[in-house]
């Protein structure tokens, strides 16, 4: 592999010719990647830039900060706040539960088939999102759902009488965890696999207890990829709309649902405010990803 | 380590309970349609519904076009970067990650504003144009997965030697890509294709905002208006996702492990 990439570089260096030949050869050089770049610019970068610029313009096309300032109105702030809360709660709960499951199946001494079965199932469950997931949770924890009914008839616990509602913050969080945990498992298992056996042996040789080994070796090594994945899960939940929309209709006012209503029917009566909401979403997921990349480069130092 | 194993079992069983209870509950709920007895009535009604068939077919066709578009964009680019332009790899990897950063609803919002009927490129002026825009949008959603799958596939073959051998035999670039490179990364491409299928088949946001008669908006509509059919649809969707993931797993067994294999 090293050999191959070396020769790649050598050739690449050679094919950057000097003088007249350069002007002629450059276009063919880029021809192979041209469809990719044209596609990315037309359908990914320009539409996003269009919205981001629109967020700073008024109807006459002049530069303004009014749209951004208008985000401060209570209903929009509330939408961002509940979105951030749901995303953060589902990311944190999903991350810790996923980490526990990953450690259990990799290091817990469980039979091998459990590990492979869990990984396969995680691949499926992390992609089982959107509208069908909402249906599944309505059938489970809705007013007539199996879990609700069994808790009520067998254990005498009426969760709806105790204030639980599937169409609420905790209902949505509990539903999001269904794809957050498996995503965490899929991403973090390779990181735990990357913990070298030698480190455990070295720690034991130096007289470390199991607790010390975990505290001073395992946690510091896993920490960056763990935090990175938390942020990825956060962004994952923040942009999601289908599950929430199918679950709660528009009764839970999260940002993507607000933006959805705005695109459909201009509920805010200001097209440029819609751009500003989209801009705010990009800023939040963008910031999250900057941190993600930072944590990932840190974790790659240890885990090859 | 005895205690460790006990806790591992506890964690595993709790996790399994959280993941299986909703599935069991959904199956149970989907069979409750007939009073007093379990039946498959909900499934019969759903599968017999003309709108189910039409929207499902629409989404399958959209998924197939998405896969074709994705392959056409990603395979030449990933191949060319490995062969000639390794220096732009970081830029391309960054772009392929953008769909994970920019929410789908924002991307489609941009399309609606940029490609409306009065724009220079009026995709939304016609039905076919809107269909094309939906496929394009799906291809952006699938881009991170497709690129990663193809790039992993290319890593396991010796791109340079294959290309040079084909060139010595007189092949042009089109022949090299379609008859040498593509068959060699076919398994990787298929993995990406099934993942794309799983993502696209029930997609709601883009299809709904572009007003396409796709499976996702149909699901949402049934969910808002019916009691037992949604549960049956959820099980059907789960089975489809499961099928796609199983196919990927089966395919990965046939994938070459390294470029040094003698055959």
Q: CA–CA distance from B182 to each of A228, B154, B178, B263 (Å)?
A: 34, 9, 5, 17
B-contacting residues in A 168-197 (Cβ below 8 Å): 177-178, 181-182
Residues in B closer than 8 angstroms to A139, CB to CB, are 22, 25-26, 28-30, 230-231, 234
Tens digits of per-residue pLDDT, B154-188? 988 888 899 999 999 988 888 888 888 888 888 88
Give the three-state DSSP class for A63: strand
Tell me which H or E stretch contains B29.
Answer: helix B2-30
Inform me whether the pLDDT recorded for B259 exceeds 70: no
Q: Report the DSSP beta bridge partners of residue A63.
A: A57
Inform me whether the pLDDT recorded for B73 exceeds 90: yes
Say what the pTM is.
0.86
The mean per-residue pLDDT over the stretch A129-139 comes to 91
Q: Is A287 on the interface with B (CB under 8 A)?
A: no
A189: closest CA among A225, A161, A230, A143?
Answer: A225
Buried-state track A236-260, b at ≥16 Cβ within 10 A, e below 16: bbbbbbbbbbbbbeeebbbbbbbbb
Tens digits of per-residue pLDDT, A22-81? 445 556 677 788 899 999 999 999 999 999 998 998 888 888 888 888 888 898 999 999
Angle at A288 between CA B197 and CA A301, to 5 degrees: 90
A216 CB-near residues (< 8 Å, 6+ apart): A203, A208
B21 CB-near residues (< 8 Å, 6+ apart): A140, A146, A147
Q: Which of A39-53, B33-47, B60-74 comes out lowest in average pLDDT?
A: B33-47
CB atoms within 10 A of CB A83: 25
Top-ranked range on mean pLDDT: pick from A7-16, A266-275, B164-173: B164-173
pLDDT of A27 reads 64
pLDDT of A296 reads 75
Secondary structure of chain A: what % helix, strand, coil (to 5)? 75, 0, 25
Domain boundaries, chain B: 28-252
A183: closest CA among A220, A238, A230, A140?
Answer: A230
Cβ–Cβ below 8 Å for A246 and B223: yes
Q: Which fold has domain B28-252?
A: MetI-like fold (1.10.3720)
Q: CA–CA distance from B249 to each of B191, B211, B236 (Å)?
A: 8, 34, 20
Inform me whether the pLDDT recorded for B68 exceeds 80: yes
pLDDT of B2 reads 53
Please report the domains of chain A, with CATH numbers, ordered by start residue: 72-300 (1.10.3720.10)
| Residue B123: DSSP 8-state | G
Cβ–Cβ below 8 Å for A4 and B259: yes
Please check whether residue A139 is in contact with residue B234, taking contact to mean a CB–CB distance below 8 angstroms: yes
């Amino acid at each position: 592999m090293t050999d191959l990439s070396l020769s790649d570089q050598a050739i690449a260096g050679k094919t950057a010719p000097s003088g007249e030949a350069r002007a002629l050869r450059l276009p063919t050089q880029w021809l192979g990647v041209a469809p990719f770049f044209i596609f990315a610019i037309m359908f990914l970068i320009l539409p996003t830039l269009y919205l981001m610029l629109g967020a700073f313009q008024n109807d006459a096309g002049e530069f303004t900060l009014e749209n951004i300032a208008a985000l401060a109105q209570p209903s929009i702030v509330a939408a961002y706040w509940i979105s951030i809360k749901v995303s953060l709660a589902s990311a944190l709960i999903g991350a810790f539960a996923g980490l526990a499951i990953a450690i259990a199946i990799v290091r817990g001494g469980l039979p091998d088939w459990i590990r492979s079965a869990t990984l396969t199932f995680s691949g499926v469950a992390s992609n089982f999102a959107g509208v069908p997931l909402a249906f599944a949770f309505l059938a489970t924890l809705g007013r007539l759902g199996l879990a609700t009914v069994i808790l009520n008839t067998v254990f005498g616990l009426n969760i709806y009488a105790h204030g639980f509602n599937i169409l609420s913050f905790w209902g949505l969080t509990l539903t999001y965890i269904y794809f957050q945990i498996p995503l965490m498992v899929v991403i973090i298992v390779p990181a735990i696999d990357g913990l070298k056996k030698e480190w455990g042996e070295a720690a034991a040789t130096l007289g470390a207890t199991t607790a010390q080994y975990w505290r001073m070796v395992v946690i510091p090594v896993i920490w960056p990829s763990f935090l990175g994945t938390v942020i990825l899960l956060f962004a994952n939940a923040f942009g999601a709309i289908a599950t929430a929309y199918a679950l709660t209709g528009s009764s839970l006012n999260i940002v993507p649902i607000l933006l959805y209503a705005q695109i459909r029917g201009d509920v805010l009566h200001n097209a440029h405010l819609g751009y500003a909401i989209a801009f705010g979403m990009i800023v939040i997921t963008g910031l999250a990803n900057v941190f993600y990349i930072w944590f990932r480069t840190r974790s790659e130092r240890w885990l090859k | 380590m005895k205690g460790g194993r006990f806790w591992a079992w506890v964690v595993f069983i709790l996790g399994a309970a959280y993941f299986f209870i909703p599935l069991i509950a959904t199956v149970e709920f989907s069979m409750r349609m007939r009073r007093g007895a379990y039946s498959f009535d909900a499934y019969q009604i759903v599968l017999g519904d003309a709108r189910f068939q039409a929207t499902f077919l629409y989404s399958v066709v959209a998924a197939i076009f998405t896969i074709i578009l994705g392959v056409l964009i990603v395979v030449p680019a990933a191949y060319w970067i490995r062969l000639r332009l390794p220096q732009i790899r970081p830029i391309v990897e960054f772009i392929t990650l953008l769909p994970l950063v920019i929410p789908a609803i924002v991307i489609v919002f941009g399309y609606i504003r940029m490609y409306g009927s009065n724009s220079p490129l009026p995709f939304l002026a016609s039905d076919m144009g809107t269909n094309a825009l939906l496929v394009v949008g799906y291809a952006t959603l699938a881009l991170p997965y497709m690129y990663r799958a193809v790039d992993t596939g290319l890593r396991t073959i010796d791109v340079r030697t294959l290309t040079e051998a084909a060139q010595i035999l007189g092949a042009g670039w089109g022949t090299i890509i379609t008859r040498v490179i593509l068959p060699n990364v076919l398994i990787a491409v298929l993995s990406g294709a099934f993942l794309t299928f799983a993502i696209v088949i029930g997609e709601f946001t883009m299809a709904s905002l572009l007003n396409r008669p796709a499976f996702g908006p149909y699901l949402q509509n049934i969910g808002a208006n019916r009691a037992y059919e949604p549960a049956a649809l959820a099980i059907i969707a789960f089975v489809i996702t499961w099928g796609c993931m199983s196919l990927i797993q089966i395919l990965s067994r046939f994938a070459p492990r390294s470029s040094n294999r003698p055959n």
